[in-house]
Chains A and B, each alone.
Chain A
């Protein structure tokens, strides 16, 4: 096998360690908080990158999957089961250690589902939803697929906004720390900041390696063929419907994992995470990264989310991402991270004919 494919993740690890050491020695550890959050958003983005850039299917509903993961996990770890503790099922589960007794913010004892079980449950539930939605929706192409996934995103947004169980406009808070192993926990606790930075990027690197492997495999080749010419791919014996669906579900699972972890890190989740603007932002960043370019999507995902979270875009946050999307599509539809950038820009100004976008989804 070729080891070259792992050079980039290895390089990324070195850069990440350097950043952490830099913040340690310059006493700017607070940067790590936004970098950690940016890491989780980037996890959504690299999953979406495989769906959009390689399989050629757009989704404007990935914030929905992120929110489903986050909300289910938050609900299970904050919903008080104590009043039902004598119920057969609940008492059975608490004996197996799958439920935990803890004190909430106000010092009241509550009984919750263990974060590990909640995490697995949230991911499985998201995967199930993705299968149910993806089956019919992926029969659509191009703009119609974009509209349908957009509709899904809006539905999720309105449901979390309108359901008392999900805290309506306030969202869910008081989500406990997620103890991965004894001593290793996902939480916003300041003393855990460096640890959480490495947990987040560890997850990103695992995700990146999984996706790099996938796109270099037989399946990755088949996905690229679907993107290029779906009927020809079908004629070569590729079950295009199945491959598109599985890729859709895989990217939804990435979004769900990110949702679960970020919710534990932030100690809560609000309806803005499910908003359509979040979905559009993910799509914009994949485009900035160059569509079929995992590395570009990841780099841009970290950088742009970091800048946004640090507040560099001010109150024009969403507007900035809209402008970025327009500029990318106009000047460099193949993404920012490539060599012919300057010549491309010259071409736009010299050529008066309408241009077509190579990466567009037919």
Chain B
């Protein structure tokens, strides 16, 4: 059963083919990693899936329904949420408030209800707060709830961002380099959290540079090079794939 299917996806920036005819599928409740050297088109691929960039051709199917061409917020409403390569938390809001934004798609008080402070919204606000707190304790950061999110250390900001993405109750979670800028201990912590998230029944698609993280936790690995897919296998097979070794380490006689 595939939760996400990418078919012949392409995107060019001027003459540069950032993503060139890439196809792969993500199995439900698995962890799939996308790796590749710098400039291989990994982040572009993510932006295409999450609707931040329009694709030139090809299709993205989520739960067998096409989602390419939808706006980012619509894709999130369908059940795909993401984090960013450079953490993007909301400044001047506490960590808890940041996570509470993640509950947006699962609550419904609009302008009129908010302006009149209608009684049913009080219950909804309580529900938003409680669920957000539960998620923060699930990820072990409930003690950070009342701190201004952007004032936290980088590693903790990453986890707050993860909590915020989880608050959307996604079926598919896109993690854009979750270990970037983290030390070894924090990376180990993040990899544990990602496994925990998978155990909740959430499918994870992850773009990452850190090989130890990718090889430890992922079920399958897609390798991109210059926008093209060069491998789509189990982690152990990828490690032995000659093409992959060549693009990562360079040719012997180069």
Contacts and interface: CB of A to CB of B under 8 A. Distances in A.
B16 interface: no
B78 to A, nearest CB: 9
Contacts, number: 104
A235 B111 contact: no
Interface stretch (B32-40, B89-97, B194-202, B235-243): B89-97
Nearest to A210: B115
Given A229-B88, A237-B168, A221 B111 contact: no
A150 B48 CA distance: 35
Contacts of A221: 93, 97, 100-101
Nearest to A246: B111
Interface stretch (B116-124, B180-188, B208-216): B116-124
Interface residues of B, number: 39
B135 to A, nearest CB: 13
Contact of A222 (B76, B104, B117): B104
Interface in A106-139: none
Interface in A215-253: 216-222, 224-225, 228-229, 231-240, 246, 250
A235 B90 contact: no
Contacts of A225: 90, 93, 101
A231 B72 CA distance: 9
A214 B121 CA distance: 11
B226 interface: no
A336 B50 CA distance: 41
A221 B164 CA distance: 14
Contacts of A210: 115-116
Contacts of A213: 114-117
26 contacts: A210-B115, A211-B115, A213-B114, A214-B114, A217-B117, A217-B121, A218-B125, A218-B128, A219-B109, A221-B93, A224-B93, A228-B90, A229-B91, A231-B52, A232-B84, A233-B90, A234-B52, A235-B81, A236-B73, A236-B101, A236-B104, A236-B168, A238-B101, A238-B104, A240-B73, A246-B111
Interface of B: 50, 52, 71-73, 76-77, 81-82, 84, 88-93, 97, 100-102, 104-105, 107, 109-111, 113-117, 119, 121-122, 124-125, 128, 164, 168
